Amino acid sequence: MTETQQKIAADLETELAIGTLTTARLRQGIADIVQSSGNSRQDLLYLQAANTSPHSQVVGMMLIREGVRSEGGLDAEKWPYQTVLDAVREGWRIISFPNMALLAMDHDDSHGLGFEFILEKWS
């Protein structure tokens, strides 16, 4: 369920709890939930970590929320997530793990920025 759908459901539960929920209001709430599922958008979070562990420190980040790209700023200590697990705890789902084929590269060479996790949320 998206954040929007969760809010609609929570509102319905509240109305039920205080006794104001009507049949018409319930039907409207269900319709809103169904309709909003067609409007949901995928948010993406790219996190580059220091190693393959989701516990490791994030060394790079980029966020796309509601189609708008944003970043964490120059001060890394103020980024919203210091590890990949920090983001998972806030509801982000990992949809891509670091590509272990990178191990096949020459050990003398260093390539790219860290170990990339891509995460999603639906809003």
Partner 1 sequence: MRPSERKTYDCAPTLNDTQVLDFCKNGYLLLEGVVPDEINQRATKYLDEDDFYEPTGILAQDWFVENVTLNPVATGAVRALLGADFHTPVLMSNHRVQCPVADVGGWHVDGNFDFALELNYLQVFYYPQDTPLELGPTQILPGSHLVHNKARFMSHLGSIRGAVPTAAPAGSIFLTAYHVWHRRGPSTATALRNMLKYFYWRTTPPQRDWILEESFDFAAAGYGSPIASIVEQFRADIKVAELFLWLCGQRDSFQNLGGQSWPLPGHRRDTPYGFPAALERSR
Binding-site ranges for partner 1 (CB under 8 A): 46, 48, 50, 57-63, 69-74, 76, 79, 107-114
- The span from the CA of 104 to the CA of 110, in Å, is 12
Q: Which two tokens stand for residue 59?
A: 């060394």
Angle between helices 3-18 and 23-37 (to 10 degrees): 170
What distance in Å separates the CA atoms of residue 65 and residue 23, rounded to the nearest whole number?
Answer: 35
- The nearest distance, CB 107 to partner 1, in angstroms, is 7
State the nearest-atom distance from the C-beta of 49 to partner 1, in Å: 10
Looking at beta carbons only, is 12 or 63 nearer to partner 1? 63
Give the nearest distance from C-beta 3 to partner 1 in angstroms: 23
- Residue with Cβ nearer partner 1 (16 or 113): 113
Choice between 5 and 56, CB closer to partner 1: 56
- The amino acid present at 52, given as its one-letter code, is T
CB atoms within 10 A of CB 112: 11
* Residue number with CB closer to partner 1 (21 or 59): 59
Closest separation between CB of residue 73 and partner 1, Å?
A: 6
Phi, psi torsion values for 56, nearest 5 degrees: -75, 165
